[in-house]
Chains A and B, each alone.
Chain A
Amino acid sequence: DVKVTQSSRYLVKRTGEKVFLECVQDMDHENMFWYRQDPGLGLRLIYFSYDVKMKEKGDIPEGYSVSREKKERFSLILESASTNQTSMYLCASSFTNLEGTGYEQYFGPGTRLTVT
Chain B
Amino acid sequence: GQNIDQPTEMTATEGAIVQINCTYQTSGFNGLFWYQQHAGEAPTFLSYNVLDGLEEKGRFSSFLSRSKGYSYLLLKELQMKDSASYLCAVWSGGYQKVTFGTGTKLQVIP
Residues of A within 8 A of B (CB): 31, 33, 35, 40-45, 48, 50, 56, 58-59, 90, 94, 96, 101-110
Using a CB-CB cutoff of 8 Å, which residues 1-49 of chain B contact chain A? 30-31, 33, 41-45, 48
Cross-chain contact A102 with B95 (CB below 8 angstroms): no
- Roughly how many angstroms separate A107 CA and B46 CA in the complex, as a whole number? 13
Number of B interface residues in the complex (CB < 8 A)? 22
Cross-chain contact B31 with A102 (CB below 8 angstroms): yes
Closest to B91 in A: A102
Cross-chain contact B42 with A102 (CB below 8 angstroms): no
Cross-chain contact B42 with A31 (CB below 8 angstroms): no
* A42 touches which of B41, B91, B96, B103 (Cβ 8 Å): B103
- Roughly how many angstroms separate A105 CA and B37 CA in the complex, as a whole number? 13
Cross-chain contact B95 with A31 (CB below 8 angstroms): yes
Cross-chain contact B42 with A107 (CB below 8 angstroms): yes
* B50 touches which of A59, A94, A102, A107 (Cβ 8 Å): A102
Cross-chain contact B87 with A31 (CB below 8 angstroms): no
Cross-chain contact A45 with B99 (CB below 8 angstroms): yes
List, in ascending order, chain B residues with CB within 8 A of A59's CB: 99
A47 to chain B, nearest CB (A): 10
Closest to B41 in A: A109
- Roughly how many angstroms separate A33 CA and B91 CA in the complex, as a whole number? 14
- Roughly how many angstroms separate A101 CA and B33 CA in the complex, as a whole number? 12
Closest to B49 in A: A102
- Roughly how many angstroms separate A109 CA and B59 CA in the complex, as a whole number? 25
